[in-house]
C-alpha cells in the first residue's frame, strides 16, 4: 500500500514537472514575441529576416516540440525522448528570448534594463544545444536506448563537437552581432585563428556524430520488428520531409536568392512546417495512436507524389508539343492544346496510377506485393481444381505463405444434403 502511494505521488510529481516545463516554455515564448514586436522598427542585419517574422514563423514547430514532449514525459516519464523534446523547445525559446531581450534592452531602453549584455552574449548559443538534443532524439528513439551500447560513442562525439563549437563562439573576439557595434567582452584578442580552427573541428565532429546517429536510425529501421518498426518508419518519413525542406533553405542561401528573403523565406516556412510534422510523428509513434495506418500513409504518399510528378511532366510537355504543332500548322497558339493535354492527362490517370502502385509495391512494399501474387495464383488454381480436399490443403498452404500465422484451421460444414 505504501509502495503504491509512493508511486502514485511520484507519477503526479512527474506530470507536474512535465507540464511545468511546458508552461515555462510558453512564458518564454510569449516574452520573446512581445519583445520582438516592440523592437520591430529597429535595424536588422543586411538581408536578414525580421525578428518578429522569424519568431512567428518558427512558433508552431517549437510549440509542437514542447507539447509533444510534455505529453510523452507525463505518460512515459522513463523514456528520455519526451524530456529531450522539452529540452529542445526550451533552449529554442531561450535563444529567441535572449535575442528579443537584448535588442529591447540595448536599443529601445538603453541603460534602463539589466541583463542586456548577458542576453547578447547568450543570443545564438542555445541553438547549438538544441541541435544536440535533436540528435540525441534520433539516437534514442523510440525505446529511450540506442540501437546498441556502442552507438553511445556517436552521441558522445556529437556532444563533444558541439561543446568545442560553443567554446569557440563564446571566446571569439569581435562584434557580438552585425546590427550593434559591441565587442565580445570575454573574447580572447589574438586567438581568432585558433578559435576558428576549433570551431571548424567542433563542427566537423558534430557532423560526423550526427551522420553516425542517422545511420543507426536506418539500421534500427531495417532490424526492428512489429510496433517498433512502425514507430521508426513514421519518424523516418517525417525526417525525410524535414531534410527536403532543409535542402531548400541551404540551396536558396547558397545561391543567394534574395539573401535570406524571397525564395529562402519559402524554404524557412517549409522547414518550420516540417518541424511540426516531426514532432507530431514522434508523438503519434510513441503514444501509438493509429500507429499501424503508417504503411497506408507512406504507400499513398509515394504513389501520389510520383504520379503527380509524372502527370505534371506529361501535361506540360503535351501543352508545349501541341502548341508547337498548332503554330506550325495554323501559325498561332490555341487553347485547344490545353484542352487536349488536360483530357489526355485525365485519361492517363487510372492506368498510370496502377503502374506506379505496382512499381512502388514491388520496390518498397515487397511483402504486400508478394502476398498479392500468391493470392492471385491461388485463385487461378482454385478455379481449375475440382478436388475439395486438395483445394482446402492449398488454401492453408497459401495462408501460411502469405500471412504466416502461428496456426491456421479450416472448418468445412456438411449440409443436410451431404454437401460441404
Transcribe 136-157 into DSSP letters: HHHHHTTTTS-SSGGGHHHHHH
pLDDT of residue 131: 85
**Are 266 and 248 spatial neighbours (Cβ–Cβ below 8 Å)?**
yes
What pLDDT digit, counting tens, does each position of 245-262 carry?
Answer: 777 666 655 554 444 444
Provide the mean pLDDT of the chain: 79
Convert 367-409 into a string of H (helix), E (strand) and C (coil): HHHHHHHHHHHHHHHHHHCCCHHHHHHHHHHHHHHHCCCCCCC
pLDDT of residue 369: 47
pLDDT of residue 24: 92
- Cell for 198? 576549433
CB atoms within 10 A of CB 231: 24
Instruction: List the chain residues with pLDDT less than 70.
Output: 1-6, 43, 45-47, 124, 248-267, 288-302, 304-305, 361-420
pLDDT of residue 389: 63
**Are 17 and 25 spatial neighbours (Cβ–Cβ below 8 Å)?**
no
pLDDT of residue 339: 80
pLDDT of residue 263: 45
The residue whose grid cell reads 570551431 is 199
Amino acid at each position: 500500500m505504501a509502495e503504491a502511494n509512493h508511486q502514485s505521488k511520484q507519477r503526479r510529481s512527474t506530470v507536474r514537472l512535465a507540464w511545468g516545463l511546458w508552461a515555462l516554455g510558453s512564458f518564454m515564448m510569449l516574452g520573446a514575441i512581445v519583445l520582438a514586436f516592440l523592437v520591430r522598427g529597429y535595424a536588422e542585419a543586411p538581408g536578414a529576416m525580421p525578428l518578429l517574422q522569424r519568431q512567428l514563423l518558427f512558433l508552431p514547430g517549437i510549440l509542437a516540440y514542447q507539447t509533444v514532449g510534455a505529453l510523452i514525459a507525463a505518460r512515459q516519464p522513463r523514456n528520455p525522448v519526451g524530456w529531450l523534446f522539452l529540452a529542445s523547445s526550451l533552449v529554442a525559446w531561450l535563444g529567441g528570448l535572449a535575442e528579443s531581450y537584448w535588442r529591447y534592452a540595448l536599443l529601445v531602453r538603453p541603460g534602463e534594463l539589466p541583463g542586456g549584455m548577458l542576453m547578447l552574449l547568450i543570443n545564438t548559443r542555445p541553438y547549438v544545444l538544441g541541435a544536440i538534443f535533436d540528435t540525441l532524439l534520433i539516437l534514442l528513439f523510440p525505446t529511450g536506448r540506442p540501437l546498441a551500447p556502442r552507438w553511445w560513442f556517436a552521441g558522445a562525439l556529437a556532444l563533444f563537437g558541439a561543446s568545442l563549437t560553443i567554446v569557440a563562439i563564446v571566446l571569439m573576439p569581435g562584434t557580438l552581432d552585425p546590427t550593434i557595434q559591441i565587442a565580445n567582452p570575454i573574447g580572447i584578442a589574438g586567438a581568432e585563428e585558433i578559435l576558428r580552427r576549433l570551431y571548424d573541428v567542433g563542427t566537423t565532429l558534430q557532423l560526423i556524430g550526427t551522420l553516425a546517429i542517422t545511420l543507426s536510425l536506418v539500421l534500427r529501421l531495417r532490424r526492428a520488428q512489429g510496433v517498433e518498426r512502425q514507430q521508426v518508419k513514421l519518424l523516418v518519413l517525417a525526417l525525410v520531409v524535414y531534410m527536403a525542406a532543409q535542402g531548400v533553405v541551404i540551396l536558396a542561401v547558397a545561391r543567394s536568392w534574395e539573401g535570406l528573403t524571397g525564395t529562402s523565406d519559402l524554404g524557412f516556412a517549409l522547414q518550420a512546417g516540417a518541424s511540426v510534422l516531426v514532432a507530431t510523428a514522434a508523438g503519434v509513434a510513441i503514444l501509438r495512436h493509429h500507429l499501424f495506418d503508417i504503411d497506408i500513409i507512406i504507400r499513398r504518399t509515394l504513389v501520389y507524389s510520383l504520379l503527380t510528378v509524372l502527370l505534371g511532366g506529361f501535361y506540360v510537355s503535351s501543352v508545349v508539343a501541341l502548341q508547337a504543332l498548332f503554330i506550325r500548322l495554323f501559325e498561332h497558339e490555341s487553347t485547344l492544346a490545353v484542352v487536349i493535354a488536360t483530357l489526355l492527362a485525365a485519361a492517363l490517370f487510372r492506368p498510370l496510377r496502377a503502374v506506379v502502385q505496382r512499381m512502388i509495391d514491388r520496390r518498397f512494399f515487397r511483402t504486400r506485393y508478394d502476398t498479392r501474387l500468391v493470392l492471385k495464383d491461388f485463385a487461378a488454381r482454385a478455379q481449375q481444381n475440382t478436388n475439395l480436399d486438395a483445394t482446402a490443403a492449398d488454401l492453408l498452404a497459401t495462408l501460411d505463405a502469405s500471412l504466416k500465422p502461428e496456426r491456421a484451421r479450416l472448418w468445412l460444414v456438411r449440409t443436410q444434403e451431404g454437401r460441404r
